[in-house]
Structure formats: C-alpha cells, structure tokens
Amino acid sequence: MLKGIVYLLMSAFFMFMSSILVAADSGYVERSKLMQNIRLEFSVLARMSREKIEFDESLAEAARLNLLKLAASTPTVFEDDDLPINSEALPAIWENWDDFVSKSEDFEFVLEGVDTSTLIDLRDSLGNVGAACGACHQKYRMN
C-alpha cells in the first residue's frame, strides 16, 4: 500500500512539473498549483510526524525530495506577477523580489536539513520547515 502512495505522489508531482513546462496557464494558476503541491507534500511529513499515518522512511524522503524540487521552482513560477482578484499573493512579492527569492532559498536550505531517517529525527527537524513557510507567508500572502 505504501508503494502505491509513493507512486501516486510521484505521479502527481510529474504531472505538476509537466504543466509548468507547458506553461499554458496564467502565472496565478501555476502559483496556485505550486502551493497546492507544496501543501500536499508537507502534509505527508506533518501527518507522519504526528503519527496520523505510519512512519515510512522512503515515503518521507520522497516527500522531502519533492519539496526540494518544488521549492527550487518557486522563484521561476512567481516571476509572472498576474494578480487576479482571488489571488492570495500580495504585490509585495514583486516589490521586494530579492527578499522573496531569499526566503525561497531559506525554504530550500531548511528542507536540506530535514532528516527522514527516523520518526524522532523527522519530528526534530520539521519545525524549521514550518517556520520558513511562515516567514514568507506572513509578508507575502494575504491572510
């Protein structure tokens, strides 16, 4: 069953990445997809750390690696400043672009430090990820 979950997550990730390459959608749609995928991958780690789902080292590491790829794509996906009414992104992103990119790089850095080898290691290292997300969302996301 866990292999099935891994394959499902990997399939979703590759479908997402192919949609970026096609780039047929607006910047808003691509940003929305990116944030949804980050939320999906992070929820795997968060639920595992709270023992809502069984700890599985390979699934945790796959989620971490997917998060790293998603985080690396964040500045590229956010280059388009299309801001429809329903967007949660604030114009401050593009007004403070260098800071936004720096926060994205901080997110990647903390993901590098997430240890998925044991449940205890995952718990101990996951808090930094939430803090990195919050640092960006507090400044650049509509609450």
Residue 123: partners with Cβ closer than 8 Å, 6 or more residues away? 49
Across the strands, what pairs with 141?
89
pTM of the predicted model, to two decimals? Answer: 0.80
C-alpha dist (Å) from residue 60 to 40, 79, 102, 125, 126: 12, 30, 26, 12, 11
CA-wise closest residue to 76 among 20, 38, 135: 20
- The per-residue pLDDT for 17 is 54
Mean pLDDT by 10 residues, the chain (143 residues): 59 54 66 96 97 97 98 95 87 96 97 97 94 95 87
Q: CA angle 45-14-86, nearest 5°?
A: 75
Give the chain's domains with CATH numbers.
2-140 (1.20.120.10)
- The per-residue pLDDT for 141 is 94
In eight-state DSSP terms, residue 109 is H
> Which residue type sits at 39?
R
**Rounded-to-integer distance, Cα 44 and Cα 27, Å:** 26
- The per-residue pLDDT for 123 is 96
Sign of CA dihedral 57, 127, 102, 134: positive
- The per-residue pLDDT for 2 is 64
- The per-residue pLDDT for 16 is 55
Structure tokens at 111: 């993901």
**How many residues are recorded in the chain?**
143
Structure tokens at 101: 């990119």
- The per-residue pLDDT for 34 is 96
